[in-house]
Amino acid sequence: MAQTAAVKQSKANARAQKQLGHNTWRKAFMQHYWLYIMMLPALLYMIIFNYLPMTGLYMAFTDFSPFNGDTILESVFGSPFAGLKYFKKLFTGPDFWTLFRNTLSISLANLFFAFPAPIILALMINELYSKRKSKVYQTMMFFPHFLSWVVVSYFVFAFLNVNYGLLNKLVIALGGTRHQWYAEAQYWPLFFVLLKIWKGTGYSMVVYLASITGIDGSLYEAAMLDGATKWQQAKFITLPMLKTVIVMMFILSVGGIFASDFGLFYQVTQGVPNSLYKVASTFDTYVYSALQSNASIGKTAAVSTFQSVACCITILTANFIVSKIDSDSAVF
């Protein structure tokens, strides 16, 4: 009898605990329901533009055709299963290593040169005594971020035009010869890195500046009383306080190492001409060009799937390594 009573009491306690959990959740929802309502547009955006298109990854394993069903879902899930056929074609095809090399090499170059640039600029602008000059410089550096690559491509064309380009005029003025820049592939890796730094530095710089403004000013005052120079203040106060933000931005940058900037490689090069294919073709431009030429959707989906998996693996690996070194700096 005592054992039966204990079992009943245990069940009653479990029901009470469950009911308490429901009441707590309901109470929290009612207290902050307006926050959930404000979250709905972002949630719908994520579902429609991020998660629903992920069904396209299934196409990489099928012989997809839009005529395999009356609706798009019927066409996707009604297509014959192809297994790893398109992945084999991708890895054994003549274009894979060119795409892999260009995507990875330019991303690594951007990571090496473009990643430190906003940190250095944020430290320099933070040392300006004039707030007006600081705001002017921030605006000047941030402005390129809002420019479309389509607009930037016209600026680049104005510089690189074979007859009227500013760069050719400068080369000729210095005693050089005229260059057909869009036909000379050896210069474009440098152009890509410089354009990435020019366009992307401002956004990251503002992130670092916002973090710097949150550092307690008394730390700098104490350092100045101890005779610390500006470099010592940056080295022993600013950079250590920015460590978490820097590591987070680095992990996110590493996570996108297999995702090239489509506008940079396609728009700026005027559609990746044959003369620049060996240096400007990436996974993103390949997928777009393949779809434009009515290539197999299964093969293009295989490229996108490989790219997504590679990016996921790199960001998880980078975060795992950081978590082992300093768990507080890991993103998740």
Mapping DSSP onto H, E and C, the string for 15-73 reads: HHHHHHHHHHHHHHHHHCHHHHHHHHHHHHHHHHHHHHHHHHHHHHHECCCCCCCCCHH
pLDDT tens sequence for the chain (332 residues): 444 555 455 555 555 555 545 556 677 677 777 888 888 888 898 888 878 777 778 888 888 777 777 777 777 777 788 888 889 988 988 889 999 999 999 999 988 888 899 999 888 888 877 778 777 888 888 888 888 899 999 999 999 988 888 898 999 988 888 889 999 999 999 999 999 999 988 888 888 988 888 888 888 889 888 888 888 888 889 999 998 899 888 888 888 888 888 999 999 998 888 899 999 999 999 988 888 887 778 888 888 889 888 988 998 998 888 888 877 777 77
* Cβ atoms < 10 Å from Cβ of 54: 10
Q: Would you say 96 and 281 are in contact if contact means Cβ atoms under 8 Å apart?
A: no
Query: Is the domain covering 93-329 a CATH 1.10.3720.10 domain?
Result: yes
Q: Would you say 80 and 65 are in contact if contact means Cβ atoms under 8 Å apart?
A: no
Angle ∠(287,290,295) on CA atoms, nearest 5: 130
Among 298, 320, 282, smallest CA distance to 59 is for: 298
pLDDT tens string 302-331: 888 898 889 889 989 988 888 888 777 777
* Long-range Cβ contact pairs of 249-253 (< 8 A, separation 24 or more): 249/115, 249/204, 249/207, 250/115, 250/318, 251/315, 251/318, 251/319, 251/322, 251/330, 251/331, 252/315, 252/331, 253/111, 253/115
Among 200, 206, 212, smallest CA distance to 114 is for: 200
* Cβ atoms < 10 Å from Cβ of 201: 23
Q: What is the amino acid identity at position 107? A: S
Q: Would you say 141 and 121 are in contact if contact means Cβ atoms under 8 Å apart?
A: yes
* Cβ atoms < 10 Å from Cβ of 244: 15
Q: Would you say 318 and 254 are in contact if contact means Cβ atoms under 8 Å apart?
A: yes
Rounded distance between C-alpha atoms, residue 285 and residue 13, angstroms: 60
pTM of the model: 0.80
Domain boundaries, the chain: 93-329
3-state secondary structure of 81: strand
Residue 296 has phi, psi (to 5 degrees) of -60, 125
Q: How far is CA 70 from CA 64, 66, 83, 235, 280, in A?
A: 13, 8, 23, 64, 39
Residue 313 DSSP code: H
